[in-house]
């Protein structure tokens, strides 16, 4: 902008509105993971930047003004997913914009933080990773996006009494797929209770970004008993702008959230209910946003029950039947026998509704076609 300011009148400058964040490439770019298409990905990203620059020059020459929103929208065409290693894990970018980071090293379990919808709108709570005004500090084990359960052979991994230790991970790219495959061990003080291998895959369109979770839990050393508790399992803690109730004592003064599920249950009535998907809507940074969370039809006990709270906890949990009032004590307990595995698949979508409506049923139906 500084190169062109002298060419515009004050009135013309007032018409310039930056509606989208143009995070241009910096001099230092994280090293790309070597893969079959990493060069193509880097070239595509660079081409987007060049195209954006040429568009801006052309627009200025023809109109004498800058329409940054139009340039930003054009620059997204042909943007590529880029996965690159960091000291903590893997940075996931869409073109030059950060989508999320897989953090395998910092906490008692792997997490994804931060998480951005299009326009770089933050979608999960920053605490406890970052102290943030306007956010409640409750439940420090609620770390953005995570996977855990509150009773595996009696060990509470949900509240981090046990550790879900990442052993290794790799970036897998090719045939249109951009994934992280991670191997984790669920460790008590004396042994490994459970083995986990999860593939995290990423996608995006003009309106939304999403993560697919393909989780395989294996009882290699002994049986694994999943206890009946509401404290689980595939989970995220949403940004305060998607909460349903304020908490002034915790610094949460204004909230805009609402909940609906595939069965039509709304807000607090969605807690503990069975449904194929649950959706939170709200306002973050003065923008209408939504998070859609889908349970795959092949999952155990689909449609699953949901630990979806009005204060922002958002979790799919097939094991909490008694706690959810759907059966007697231990009704939700499940025994995974030694030598056997259990597979779960989920899709979590982060949408900026400024760029179009989100059809929840259509997204869910598309997810059901994944193998």
Long-range contacts of 328-334 (CB under 8 A, 24+ apart): 329/228, 330/227, 330/228, 331/228, 332/226, 332/228, 332/229, 333/225, 333/226, 333/227, 333/228, 334/225, 334/226, 334/300
Give the angle subtended at the CA of 270 by the CAs of 332 and 141, to the nearest 5°. Answer: 65
Contact 167, 183 (CB under 8 A): yes
Which pLDDT value is given to residue 370? Answer: 85
Measuring CA to CA, which residue among 180, 182, 181, 178 is closest to residue 203?
178
Domain ranges of the chain: 5-76, 109-368
**DSSP state letter for 370:** -
Pair of tokens at residue 62? 């023809």
Which pLDDT value is given to residue 77? Answer: 52
**Distance between CA 323 and CA 122 in Å, rounded?**
31
Output the DSSP codes for 250-284.
GTB-----EEEETT--BGGGGTT-B-SEEEEEEEE
What Rg value do the Cα atoms of the chain yield, rounded? 22
**Distance between CA 27 and CA 102 in Å, rounded?**
23
Which pLDDT value is given to residue 20? Answer: 32
Per-residue pLDDT of the chain (371 residues; tens, 9 = 90+): 333 233 323 333 333 332 333 232 333 333 333 333 443 434 344 444 444 444 444 444 444 444 443 333 344 456 899 999 999 999 999 999 999 999 999 999 999 999 999 999 999 999 999 999 999 999 999 999 999 999 999 999 999 999 999 999 999 998 888 999 999 999 999 999 999 999 999 999 999 999 999 999 999 999 999 999 999 999 999 999 999 999 998 889 889 999 999 999 999 999 999 999 999 999 999 999 999 999 999 999 999 999 999 999 999 999 999 999 999 999 999 999 999 999 999 999 999 999 999 999 999 999 999 87
Contact 181, 324 (CB under 8 A): no
Contact 336, 224 (CB under 8 A): yes
- Length of the chain (residues): 371
What is the pTM for the complete model shown?
0.80
Contact 291, 350 (CB under 8 A): yes
């Amino acid at each position: 902008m500084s190169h062109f300011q002298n060419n515009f009148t004050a009135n013309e400058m007032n018409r310039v509105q930056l509606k989208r964040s143009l995070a241009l490439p910096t001099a230092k770019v994280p090293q790309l993971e070597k893969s079959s298409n990493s060069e193509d990905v880097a070239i595509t990203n660079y081409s987007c930047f060049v195209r954006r620059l040429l568009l801006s020059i052309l627009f200025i020459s023809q109109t004498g003004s800058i329409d940054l929103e139009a340039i930003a929208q054009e620059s997204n065409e042909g943007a590529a997913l880029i996965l690159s290693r960091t000291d903590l894990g893997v940075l996931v970018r869409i073109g030059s914009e950060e989508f999320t980071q897989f953090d395998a090293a910092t906490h008692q379990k792997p997490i994804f933080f931060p998480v951005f919808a299009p326009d770089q709108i933050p979608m999960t709570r920053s605490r406890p990773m970052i102290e943030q005004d306007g956010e409640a500090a409750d439940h420090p084990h609620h770390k953005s996006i995570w996977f855990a359960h509150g009773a595996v052979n009696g060990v509470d991994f949900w509240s981090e009494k046990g550790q879900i230790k990442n052993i290794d991970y790799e970036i897998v790219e090719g045939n249109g797929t951009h994934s992280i495959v991670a191997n984790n061990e669920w460790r008590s003080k004396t042994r490994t209770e459970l083995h986990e291998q999860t593939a995290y895959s990423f996608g995006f369109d003009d309106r939304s970004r999403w993560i697919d979770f393909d989780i395989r839990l294996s009882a290699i050393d002994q049986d694994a008993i999943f206890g009946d508790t509401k404290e689980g399992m595939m989970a995220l803690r949403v940004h305060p702008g998607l909460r349903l109730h304020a908490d002034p004592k915790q610094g949460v003064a204004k909230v805009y959230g609402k909940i609906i599920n595939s069965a039509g249950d709304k807000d607090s009535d969605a807690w503990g209910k069975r449904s194929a998907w649950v959706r939170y809507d709200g306002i973050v940074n003065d923008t209408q946003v939504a998070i859609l969370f889908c349970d795959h039809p092949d999952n155990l006990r689909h449609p699953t029950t949901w630990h979806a709270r009005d204060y922002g906890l958002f979790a799919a949990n097939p094991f909490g039947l008694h706690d959810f009032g759907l059966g007697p004590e231990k009704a939700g307990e499940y025994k995974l026998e030694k030598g056997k595995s259990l597979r779960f698949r989920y899709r979590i979508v982060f949408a900026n509704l400024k760029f179009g409506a989100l059809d929840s049923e259509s997204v869910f139906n598309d997810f059901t076609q994944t193998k």
